[in-house]
Structure 1
Amino acid sequence: MGQYWVFVNIDKRQTSGFLGKLGEFFSTTTSHSLMYLLAIPAVPLRLESTSANPSTTREFAGAWAGDRIVCFGDYARSWPDGIDGDSLQTVTTSDEDYEDSEGESESPQLLFMASCREYTYVDRGYKWELSYPHDHNWALRNITRKLYVRSDGIPTIDDKKNLTYYIQYGLRGFPGLGQVLLTNILWSDDDSTSMPFSDVQGSWAGDRLDIRLMDDVAEELQEEGWKDISRQEAIKLYNILLQESEVEGDLPDEPAESL
């Protein structure tokens, strides 16, 4: 049957709700919601005073920046390193209310997620292209480990299924920072993903993350000795997409002006 996945903000106790099987949404725009939750806008969001649909639960773009983030599979039975599951207060209910189809008690992770608030959509405001310009370079940062990935360090697919560094779309490129996120924050104790990639205990799961304009943080990254891992992430994505038959040809070298 496969397992379903959900974005979870440990600190704000929020979730995306279950997203489906990884192989079904890996190459879609599903990861964009998480990217925009982590991305500090270039200029303040221009927001409507009220939601167009009062019944929806929205979260604002940038609201998760700096928080501990995990993409849990519903077969997770353990916590990522650094997350003290015992300290996370879960819902108080009888075990009978949280039994699976085989009569077994649900995992602590699912109980924790049941206590979280689920957002319905991410509000980027109107004229959001000003807040998240596609012609700028962005940095996905792992604050916990002082690592970063540049949006222009991930080559995108052209119309011939080749990867190129010469077509860039900021946060909207494919592959892009959304796929980098997915391959690093998964957490489960079962490696079923509905795709060849099966590293379901990502080294970033539970780390503090954000996305910033490169121009805004370049000096900080250099002065504090952050490590640029864009190339290794590009290689990882290339191998995944090659197995999925989504790309052809070789992984190109990164242009010197991007380094």
Structure 2
Amino acid sequence: MGQYWIIINIDKRETTGHLGKLAECFWYSTSVVKYLKTPIVPSCYQPNASISEEKLMKFKGGHNLAAVLLTLPTELLAAIAEELLEEYFDLICLSLTCSTMWEVTGRTRYRSLCSLLKRRSWAGDRVMLIGDYTNTLPKGVFTAQDRKYLALSTRSRYEQDLYEHACAKYQNPKTKSQCLSLLKDERVQNNSALRRDLMQFAYKKPFSRWILLEEEFTPVIQNSKTGSPEDHWMVRSLDRQEYVTNFSARNLAQVLYCLIGCSDDPSGCVAGGDALIEGAWAGDRIDITLASTHKQEYGEALDWKDITVNIKTLLEEIATEEEREDFEF
């Protein structure tokens, strides 16, 4: 009858939930793509905008609530902000106390937003596509803590009911549909005074973008004047320093499926796709980014290996067996 599949994020303890049989989801289930795209903070968030005390106090109703803070040296204010690096909501509230604090926290706010987006993304996490017949995992994929959380056997090679345990214990990932706006935060919803104070800034520049967070935080490929893409996608294994690139955006999910699958039983695989159950990157830290971003991070990246040809060959073989005449890598 074949096996059913899910994609799990070991680090965040999340799962896509049931994807169905591989032959059913291989060409049509693409949700994992949006989870794995590396978040990008637009340049408008770069810490270069200042705000006058007069303008800030106008929004605050003229009451200087930051008298004590203003007596402290900027170095100490920066240190206070740094303590809130992983608490984006609290950091924004602190930043709004006075113009000095707003300017001092510029870089910390930017880093805090980057951290917030990364925590919501799967990019750079250990990811696997597993079937309900999966018994043997690549060596070292699960730590002792991972096994304990899933209540797996302590035996080194064989996992007991991994599929069922992951479905039961892992959560659904946060999706783009879940609003990032601080106005939707439970603390704001339950505190009318806090909501009133935050609303004074929510629709005023330069504060609004930091509160409403309405920008598109995922990479987008722009077309040149000739209509051709100016950039291209890259799927990366950060552990192996390998990548696949120069393929159509509509094949992002299929490229991933070719690399992250893990099972002991080939039954139910797509035609010609037995290799999918032994994905070379199963359990690796994986992300999807733009080639331009990769170049910014690693330069010419001579120590990275391009495995595009291998994946192109595999996908073309699968497409031929599946009689998908319109397939183009």
> Scaled by the length of structure 1, what TM-score is found?
0.68
Q: Which amino acid aligns with 2:129?
A: C
Distance 1:80 1:238, change over 3 A: same
State the match for 1:231 in structure 2. 309
Question: Which one has a bigger Cα radius of gyration?
Answer: 2
Contact 2:132 2:162 in 1 (8 A): no
CA deviation profile, 1:7-60 (whole Å, cap 9, x unmatched):
1001111001110011112111x12x211111123445xxxxxxxxxxxxxxx7
Task: Choose which of 64, 77, 82 in structure 1 pairs with 2:140.
Answer: 82
Question: 1:149 is matched with which residue?
Answer: 244
RMSD: 3.3
The match for 1:115 is 169
| 1:182 aligned residue | 257
1:204-238 per-residue CA deviation (whole Å, 9 max, x = no partner) reads: 10001011121111251524511112222111111
Residue 132 of structure 1 deviates from its aligned partner by 3.5
Distance, in Å, in 2 between the alignment partners of 1:108 and 1:21 is 17
Q: Does the CA-based 8 Å contact 2:131-2:163 persist in structure 1?
A: no
5+ residue gaps in structure 1?
45-59, 94-104, 157-172, 253-259
1:248 CA displacement: 6.6
Q: Which residue of 1 aligns with 2:232?
A: 137
8 Å contact kept, 2:35–2:175 = no
Secondary structure, aligned partner of 1:34 = helix
User: For the Cα contact (< 8 Å) 1:90–1:111, is it kept in 2?
Assistant: no
1:19 — aligned with what? 19
Q: What is the aligned partner in structure 2 of residue 208 from structure 1?
A: 285
CA distance in 1, matches of 2:294, 2:128: 24
Aligned mates of 1:149, 1:92 — CA distance in 2 = 35
Q: Distance in 1 between matches of 2:121 and 2:173?
A: 12
2:37 pairs with 1:39 = yes
Q: Distance in 1 between matches of 2:11 and 2:41?
A: 25
Shift in CA distance, 19/185, structure 1 to aligned 2, threshold 3 Å: same
Query: 1:185, 1:204 within 8 Å by CA — same for their partners in 2?
Result: yes
Deviation of 1:116 (Å): 1.1
Is residue 2:123 matched to residue 1:69?
Answer: no
Mapped partners of 1:146, 1:124: distance in 2: 32
1:127-165 per-position Cα deviation (integer Å, ceiling 9, x unaligned)? 74x844243312111101000111xx22x5xxxxxxxxx
CA distance in 2, matches of 1:41, 1:124: 15
Bigger shift: 15-24 or 217-226? Answer: 217-226
CA contact (8 A) 2:9 2:127 kept: yes
Q: Which letter does structure 1 place at the counterpart of 2:220? A: P
User: Does the 8 Å CA contact 2:33/2:252 hold for their aligned counterparts?
Assistant: yes
The one-letter code matched in structure 1 to 2:4 is Y
Q: Distance in 1 between matches of 2:286 and 2:312?
A: 19
Contact 1:90 1:112 in 2 (8 A): no
Note if contact 1:42-1:213 (Cα within 8 Å) is conserved in structure 2. Answer: no
**Identical aligned pairs, as a percentage?**
32
Distance in 2 of aligned mates of 1:248 and 1:223: 34
Runs of 4+ in 1 over 4 A off after TM superposition: 124-128
What is the TM-score normalised by the length of structure 2?
Answer: 0.55
Provide closer, same or farther for how the CA distance between residues 113 and 75 of structure 1 changes in structure 2, counting only shifts above 3 A: same
Secondary structure of 1:140 counterpart: strand
Code of the aligned partner of 1:229: I
Pairwise CA distance, 1:184? 1.0
The structure where strand makes up a greater share of residues is 1
Q: Is the 8 A contact 1:64 1:210 kept in 2?
A: yes
Aligned residue for 1:255?
Answer: none
